[in-house]
Amino acid sequence: MYEFELEELEAATENFSPSNLISKGSHGRVYRGVLNNGKHVAIKKQSSGLLDSSKIEHEARMLSSIHHNSCLVDFLGIGHDASDNKLIVMEHMPNGTLHDLLRAPVTPPPTWRKRLDIALQVANGVRFLHESNKPPIVHRDIKSANILLDSNWDAKLADFGLSVTLAGDNSATLPAGTIGYLDPDYNTPSKLSTKIDVFSYGVVLLELISCREVLDVRKSPASIVEWAVPLIKQGRFLEVCDERTRLRPHQRRKVECLLSLAARCVFPVERLRPSMGEIVATLEDPKTEPFRFPLTMINFFRRAILNTRKINSTTVKKIVANSESKK
């Protein structure tokens, strides 16, 4: 693992100037910088005043164990600040997050071709974590805000602070993730599996196609899954699609396949969700047809959604407020 000198990282970021701040969260802040060799980087620094450095320490260890993949943000090395807290140095992704791209007020929304490309790039990244690492890695926080876009607008998966390996005893690994993307069945350590990521990926697909917020208390139902899945089951695909972007006839079947795939990913029964390998194969196959759900699966979905709707809007607002307060 390459270690950068603090002086170089301070010079690259103008001493971590607020003008170079890209993003901030509960555990760290990310700054853009330019190294001595002219390379543009992003540097994650522990938030000032935060005593617990375990998340950044964990993320650094996790990143150092993952081999390079074109669909994951490149990890370049570490550094240490004046208090000896770790700094994580990564490649800079100049075009921001998928979340921001989908909702940018000025930039035109992505074309359907670009959305399909992003869906495949993210799927390849998650598949790599699940299938090319021994033991498999579960990301646990797949969401549009953790999907970054490079200078070519290609998507890469980032933020491995919650990632864990499926190795040995995970009984102490408490459930974690982001409300709205989190598999509702992941409520105990024993439920940890790669299918958690499949559920979150399915939510991202629904968001990618519709541009609707994943959890929006102003709408009923508030959950994107509860809203979109019944429409998909009824074959009302166009009602889920982002109206700002024209869907041409030759693209319609592919988008319908993507929505069918999303519905399978968020299916309540974990074992019936596809693997990431199957998802990639489906996206790469030009002859793939939209999945036709058997009546038994449709009825199961209906019962699951009715059970989920027992959470009223007040409860959802509390969940969102608690989630925001922890950022």
Q: How many residues does the chain have?
A: 327
Let me know: does 128 contact 72? Beta carbons within 8 Å: yes
CB neighbour class for 142 (10 Å; exposed up to 12, middle 13-18, buried from 19): buried
Q: Which of 141, 159, 183, 242 is catalytic?
A: 141
- 141 annotated active-site: yes
Residue whose structure tokens are 């009984």 = 171
- The whole-angstrom separation of Cα 153 and Cα 100 is 13
Residue whose structure tokens are 């970054």 = 148
Q: Which of 62, 23, 61, 30 is closest to 44 using CA atoms?
A: 30
Helix (H, G, I), strand (E, B) or coil at 127: helix
Let me know: does 112 contact 251? Beta carbons within 8 Å: yes
The 10 Å Cβ neighbour count of residue 67 is 8
Active site residues: 141
